Amino acid sequence: MLPYEAMTKRAILFLAAVLLLAVAGPAPGQQPQTPPAPAGQPAAPQPPVTFRAEVNYVEVDARVLDAQGNFIAGLTANDFQVLEDGQPQKVSVFSVVNLPVERAPRPLFASRPIEPDVATNLTGVDGRVYVIVLDDLHTNVQRSPRVRAAARQFIERYVGANDLVAVVHTSGRTDAGQEFTNNPRLLLAAVDKFMGRKVRSATLNRIDMEAMTRGQRQQGDRIDDIDDMERGYQARSALDSMRQLAQYLGGISGRRKAVVLFSEGIDYDITDVINSRDASTIINTTRDLISVATRANVSIYGVDARGLGGLSEEGIEVASFPEDTTVNINSGSFQNELRLGQDSLRVLSSETGGFAAVNSNDFATAFQRIVDDNSAYYVLGYYPANDRRDGRFRKIEVRIPGRPDARIRARKGYVAARGRASEPKPAGPNDATPELRNVMTSPLPISELPMAVTAAVFKGPKPNGSVVISALVAGPALPLVEKDGMFRNHLEMAVVAVDQKGKTFTPGRSTVDLNMKPDTAKRVQALGFRVISQLDLPPGRYTLRVGAREGNTKKAGSVSYDLEVPDFAGEKLLMSSIAMTSAASSVAPTARSKDPLQQLLPGPLSSYREFPQGDEVAIFAEIYDNSGSQPHKVDISASLKAEGGQSVFATSEERDSTELKGAAGGYGFAARIPLKDVAPGLYVLRVEAQSRLGDRPATDREVVIRVMPPPTQ
């Protein structure tokens, strides 16, 4: 076994090569202009996603198709002409986006993909950016299963492993939303909580009102909708929610932002501005949404999950229509409701560069079109010559003078901002730097400073879990300045956990002054610099955001991590995370002012999951036994299995419940796994425990690791 006090030169060289390959990319400031790869060939590197604060920057996504509907590849910035209100604009940012739809790899013997326990920004955002908006305010409760089924279909069949997706409800439900993730389990769980809460059909309300007032009114008197006020309120609320969402997405540049809106549409009658009290307000609110969405380059794709069914559920409730034809309530009233809703979807979609899928049960074709729209296109960014903040519509036209046969799909324009630009709040002496603030507020991870993050959750002070966070900043991206024989930089770190209700938890901002001797500096450049922090959190689901900023070039990066803190007293038998380190990864210089695992692991908690052959992996986990006072045994085992299912390592031990008397934790389980004779490839590390009580409760955890060929001299 390899000692943890020392590391061979060969292993250091190996890990350095892994990191160098991971962070290799375009030179700083270079705009990638590689054309999309032909079918069947590896995709070209994708342009980086950035978070821009400039309010006058305009970005246009142009999808260019030939007469057969195929994407035209190989165009350059010189091929395009961008006009704003008829005036040519100077394109200052140009890139080609050609995104493959990746599928999550899984070991051959696993029934489903094993969720990774490490998150990185090494590849940046190399997929599509979707926000699934579930319009519960405008979905009939009886049709909720249709929306859930359609949204699940989109996630399961059309979202790639490299895509980032969020789920939002227009009602503002925070318990059912999901921040950006590529974890399909979390996305599907958010969709499954959807329940429509649309107010009753206006036509049904008017039919009931006509029956109640029959004989009490004059012929031809208007029959009002008793839910008109609530209907107007829900319309404004849904539109406002989407406007805020578009504003939130506005800072993201370098990718299309697609809002897939599952909705029956705004069913408020905006055509009758005299008798419909909220018609004018809803029209203006719709304009505001379109203004913000076009300015933020957000495309809306409206999907009516009713398909060809329309208002069939409402029609079943009608025994007969009023005989008084002057009240204008008949079968056409339902059609008018349907038209109002679908027209609103068409307007929102077409005005923002998307399309609406209505009156069709063929969701597969619509979903594939959405994927195609967001997979291959050209990004053209410019600073408009007209920088007046007058709130007026600016028409955008994208041309390719040399290709008259080309069909160009791009947004029609945008509405300029109005009023004076808000001045940034001056930073105080103890505030985070602007670069760190920017990456921490970005909706998506930022890869300018490459990082890898893992978080191990153990039982903490009741009822909390103790979360140990390991963040590794890639060494090749961490420049060091020599002064007086020492190598220096300044690292600023921030960690924030956000629960489903939007409440934030943070251990605070930390700073590390790197002032290193030459040998330590070499290890940092080869292996990176690791920072360990700890945070106590109540049980629940969180989005953990970790950001870092280095002082020499002021580069910053961030990583988002899906975190679940279980209720460790809620099950008879429950396991912590599997904390992992290795002889090779422990050599990376580490700052850990507070590390509960320091005495339990032979090295710092590692975010490496690729290990060289010849390395040794050490693991630690705790098993929490809540089975009661009856004496019993618990069997704990660890195994490492190859893709074919054959075991290359196994160990087990028997524990007694009497060990836990008066103990605050659980059964501590540790193992060391030598990789000397383990062939290169993909492996599943599994730790499981089972009680010998009558109902035999069990618990387990799995982590995928990769063993790499041994390093060469």
What are the backbone angles phi and psi of residue 372, rounded to the nearest 5°? -60, -45
Average of per-residue pLDDT values in the chain: 88
User: Which residue has 């005989």 as its token pair?
Assistant: 323
Euclidean distance between CA atoms 646 and 666, whole angstroms: 30
360-369: pLDDT as tens digits: 999 999 999 9
What the block records as the tokens of 51 is 């978070």
Count of Cβ atoms closer than 10 Å to residue 86 Cβ: 7
Euclidean distance between CA atoms 336 and 140, whole angstroms: 17
The 8-class DSSP code of residue 418 comes to: B
Q: Tell me: do 141 and 51 sit in the same domain.
A: no
Residue 58 belongs to a domain: yes
Q: Tell me: do 267 and 285 sit in the same domain.
A: yes
User: Which residue has 């490492």 as its token pair?
Assistant: 640
pLDDT of residue 653: 96
DSSP string, 354-375: ---B-S-S-HHHHHHHHHHHTT
C-alpha neighbours within 13 Å on the C-beta side of residue 383: 6
Q: Tell me: do 56 and 159 sit in the same domain.
A: no
CA 356-358-361 angle, 5° bins: 125
**At 284, which helix (H) or strand (E)?**
helix 279-295
Order of strands, sheet of 58-65, starting from the edge strand that comes earlier in the sequence: 91-98, 376-382, 58-65, 407-409
pLDDT of residue 40: 38
Q: How many domains does one find in the chain?
A: 2
Q: Tell me: do 342 and 242 sit in the same domain.
A: yes
Euclidean distance between CA atoms 173 and 512, whole angstroms: 39
Residue-number span of the structural domain to which 341 is assigned: 129-373
Euclidean distance between CA atoms 470 and 603, whole angstroms: 12
Of 373-377, 430-434, 464-468, the one with minimum mean pLDDT is 430-434
Q: Tell me: do 51 and 23 sit in the same domain.
A: yes
Residue 397 belongs to a domain: yes
Count of Cβ atoms closer than 10 Å to residue 289 Cβ: 25
Residues paired with 90 in a beta bridge:
none
Choosing from 373, 399, 423, the residue where a domain stops is 373
Residue 336 belongs to a domain: yes
What the block records as the tokens of 681 is 């490839």
125-156: pLDDT as tens digits: 889 999 999 999 999 999 999 999 999 999 99
3-state secondary structure at position 353: coil
Amino acid at 52: R
Amino acid at 333: S
Q: Tell me: do 228 and 309 sit in the same domain.
A: yes
Q: Which class for 695: exposed (0-12), middle (13-18), buried (19 or more C-beta within 10 A)?
A: exposed
Euclidean distance between CA atoms 341 and 270, whole angstroms: 11
Euclidean distance between CA atoms 183 and 540, whole angstroms: 16
Q: Tell me: do 58 and 177 sit in the same domain.
A: no
CA 587-589-590 angle, 5° bins: 115
Residue 145 belongs to a domain: yes
Residue 219 has pLDDT above 80, yes or no: no
Residues paired with 512 in a beta bridge:
491
Average pLDDT on 15-21 reads 41
pLDDT of residue 426: 62
Euclidean distance between CA atoms 661 and 652, whole angstroms: 22
Contacts 24+ apart (CB under 8 A), 154-157: 154/260, 154/363, 154/367, 154/370, 155/184, 155/187, 155/188, 155/191, 156/184, 156/188, 157/364, 157/367
For residue 345, which of 61, 62, 135 has the smallest C-alpha distance?
135
Q: Which residue has the higher pLDDT, 121 or 40?
A: 121
Residues paired with 557 in a beta bridge:
548
What the block records as the tokens of 320 is 């007969």
Question: 520 vs 14, 49, 551, CA distance in Å?
Answer: 17, 33, 18
Residue 694 belongs to a domain: no
pLDDT of residue 319: 80
Q: Tell me: do 316 and 397 sit in the same domain.
A: no
Pair type for strands 413-415 and 91-98: unpaired
459-510: pLDDT as tens digits: 999 899 999 999 999 999 899 999 999 999 999 999 999 998 889 999 989 9
The 8-class DSSP code of residue 125 comes to: S
Pair type for strands 257-262 and 129-134: parallel
For residue 535, which of 512, 508, 558 has the smallest C-alpha distance?
508
pTM over 0.85: yes
Euclidean distance between CA atoms 182 and 155, whole angstroms: 10
663-701: pLDDT as tens digits: 667 899 999 999 999 999 999 999 999 999 988 999 999
Residue 499 belongs to a domain: no
Residue 212 belongs to a domain: yes
Q: Tell me: do 133 and 173 sit in the same domain.
A: yes
Question: 168 vs 131, 564, 694, CA distance in Å?
Answer: 7, 19, 44
pLDDT of residue 695: 87
Choosing from 373, 397, 432, the residue where a domain stops is 373
pLDDT of residue 317: 84
CB 303 within 8 A of CB 363: yes
Choosing from 319, 347, 373, the residue where a domain stops is 373
Euclidean distance between CA atoms 167 and 184, whole angstroms: 11
**At 50, which helix (H) or strand (E)?**
strand 50-51
Residue 357 belongs to a domain: yes
283-309: pLDDT as tens digits: 999 999 999 999 899 999 999 999 888
pLDDT of residue 429: 56
pLDDT of residue 484: 92
Q: Tell me: do 172 and 95 sit in the same domain.
A: no
The 8-class DSSP code of residue 32 comes to: -
Q: Tell me: do 173 and 279 sit in the same domain.
A: yes
Q: Tell me: do 409 and 274 sit in the same domain.
A: no
CATH number at residue 228: 3.40.50.410
- Write the Ramachandran bin of 547: left for phi over 0, alpha for psi from -120 to 50, otherwise beta: beta
